[in-house]
Structure 1
């Protein structure tokens, strides 16, 4: 279990996150949603130990995060930040193997190499193994870094917009694999997503942030509502439910487009005049 008690982050006079209290259970995928600038990335960075807490505390399976033991704390975390730019003269396979950096010696073991190849195969990107990572597209780099994170065998997964550069197929592959491994391995998994429908489809629990504060927490079917989304994002939406009872969001245009036939008639009439 990951426990957040009164977690508060401030930089000078700017409050990033205020008074967050949460209990996140192992074996569940928790997805953070909310408008831009509401503290989502700051929260992940704080959980990784990159941002110091102004107030409050964090515990993972009973062990507190402390400033003097951050190296040990991070060894149990698989962290994938937003920036996937890799200016390294390494192959995709070599980047994945770095997921076991803490246990690597001067010689790469067969087990480490096999595990790295299996991670690439599981994500359907084994064909990239020998490609220099700096030649890969943004989406391909995201998949390679996700494979690296998997190889860490973490207790806690922190993923910041892991599907932002992926096409629809690879979005589903990554999220399916993340959800399955979270359940099978008993990870505490926390991901930031902007796609509300993807979040609703895969999250066990949604963490909804607005203005740095917790606005809602719970299963998607109980949390996602038209009023909540309109209040946070200031856009009109309809919220429907699929055959499994999961919500999906449809945004509504503020103004209705003119009928195509009417527009075509008006253009033709103008031309004829």
Structure 2
């Protein structure tokens, strides 16, 4: 279990997150939603040990995050940040193999190469294996970096807006794979998404942040309602249910904008 105990974050005098307490269970996909600038990325960076805590504690498996043990703490994570603008001369296969950087020797093993190819195949992008990373589209880079993260064999998986450049097919493919692997490998998974319908479809638990504070936490069917969404985004919506009982959201045009 990943535990956040009264966690507060700040950069200079700017408060980012205030007294956030959560318990995140293995085998569950947690999706973080909320308006821009509300601390979602900062929270992931803090969990990874990149952003110092103003106060509070982060614990996993009975151990607390500390600067002294930062390197060993990070080895538990598969972390894919927002920025995928990497101008690398390496091939796609070489970039994915770097997911095992901590265990690589001077010579690549057949197991490393086969594992990288298997990750590419599972995501439907094996045909890109020999392409140079710098020649790929933004969406292709996101899929390659996700394959790299999969190779790290993490205990905690964190993805920051992983579908922002993907078409509909690849959005679903990435989220389905993440959902399946979270259960199969008992990961604690956290994903930042802006697409509320995608979040509602795949999340076991939603973490709703606004103004640096926790607004709601729980299953999408219990958390998402028109009032909450209007408070978060100042947008009127209708909430419907799909055939599985999961909420989906339809935004409404505002009369003032249509006049």
Structure 1 partner of 2:244: 244
Alpha-carbon distance between aligned partners in 1 of 2:106 and 2:160, rounded to the nearest angstrom? 32
Question: Are 1:147 and 2:141 counterparts?
Answer: no
User: Deviation at 1:257?
Assistant: 5.2
What is aligned with 2:91?
A: 91
- TM-superposed CA distance for 1:63, in Å, is 1.4
Give yes or no for the alignment of 1:188 onto 2:175. no
CA distance in 2, matches of 1:197, 1:63: 35
Question: 1:12 & 1:134 partners in 2: Cα distance?
Answer: 36
Question: What is the Cα deviation at residue 70 of structure 1?
Answer: 0.6
Gaps of 5+ in 2: none
* Aligned counterparts of 2:115 and 2:218: Cα–Cα separation in 1: 35
What residue in structure 2 maps to residue 121 of structure 1? 121
Inter-partner Cα distance in structure 2 for 1:57 and 1:252: 41
Structure 1 residue 109, shift from structure 2 partner: 0.3
Q: Deviations over 1:15-38 (max 9, x none)?
A: 000000000000000000000010
- Specify the alignment match of 2:132 in structure 1: 132
Runs of 4 or more above 3 Å deviation: none
Partner of 1:212: 212
Alignment of 1:1-273 (within 5 A): 1-255=1-255
Instruction: Summarize deviations over 1:213-269 as a string: whole Å, max 9, x none.
Output: 0000000000000000001100110111111110001000013858xxxxxxxxxxx
SS of residue in 2 equivalent to 1:7: strand
CA shift for structure 1 position 61: 1.6
TM-score normalised by length of structure 1: 0.93
Q: What secondary structure is seen at the aligned counterpart in 1 of 2:164?
A: coil
SS of structure 1 residue aligned to 2:148: helix
Q: How many Å separate the matches in 2 of 1:26 and 1:88?
A: 34
TM superposition score normalised by structure 2? 0.98
Structure 1 unaligned segments of length 5 or more: list them. Answer: 259-273
Q: Deviations over 1:188-213 (max 9, x none)?
A: 00000000000000000000001000
